[in-house]
Amino acid sequence: MTVNGTTPTGAFSGDERNAVYRAIFERRDVRKDFLSDSISEETLRRILLAAHHAGSVGYMQPWDFLVIQQAETKQAVKNLFVQANDAAALQYQGKKADLYRGLKLEGIQEAPVNICVTCSRERGGSSVLGRATVPETDLYSTCCAIQNLWLAARAEGIGVGWVSILDYVALKEVLGIPQPVWIIAYLCLGYVKTFGDQPDLEKAGWRKRLPLEQLVHYERWGNRLEDSSANEESLMPEIDRNASR
Ligand SMILES: Cc1cc2nc3c(=O)[nH]c(=O)nc-3n(C[C@H](O)[C@H](O)[C@H](O)COP(=O)(O)O)c2cc1C
88 lines ligand 1 (CB under 6 A): no
Q: Which atom of ligand 1 is nearest to the CA of 196?
A: 26
- State the distance from the centre of ligand 1 to the C-alpha of 159, rounded, in angstroms: 12
Q: Which atom of ligand 1 is nearest to the CA of 164?
A: 8
pLDDT confidence of 167, banded at 50, 70, 90? very high
**Cα distance between residue 70 and residue 112, in whole Å:** 9
Sign of CA dihedral 215, 52, 44, 186: negative
Given its phi and psi angles, is residue 98 left (phi above 0), alpha (psi -120 to 50 degrees) or beta?
Answer: alpha
Choice between 65 and 6, residue whose per-residue pLDDT is larger: 65
Where do the DSSP E strands lie in the chain?
63-68, 113-120, 158-163, 181-191
Measured by CA distance, the residue closest to atom 10 of ligand 1 is: 105
**Cα distance between residue 45 and residue 212, in whole Å:** 35
pLDDT digits (tens, 9 = 90+) for 189-216: 999 999 999 999 999 999 999 999 999 9
Contact 189, 153 (CB under 8 A): yes
Taking Cα atoms as reference points, which of 223, 202, 193 lies closest to residue 34?
193
| Predicted model pTM | 0.95
**Cα distance between residue 11 and residue 38, in whole Å:** 35
Q: What is the pLDDT of residue 245?
A: 40
143 lines ligand 1 (CB under 6 A): no
Q: Which atom of ligand 1 is nearest to the CA of 30?
A: 26
CA neighbours closer than 13 Å in the CB half-sphere of residue 120: 13
- State the distance from the centre of ligand 1 to the C-alpha of 215, rounded, in angstroms: 20
Mean pLDDT of 126-146: 95
Measured by CA distance, the residue closest to atom 26 of ligand 1 is: 28
Q: What is the pLDDT of residue 239?
A: 67
Q: What is the pLDDT of residue 242?
A: 52
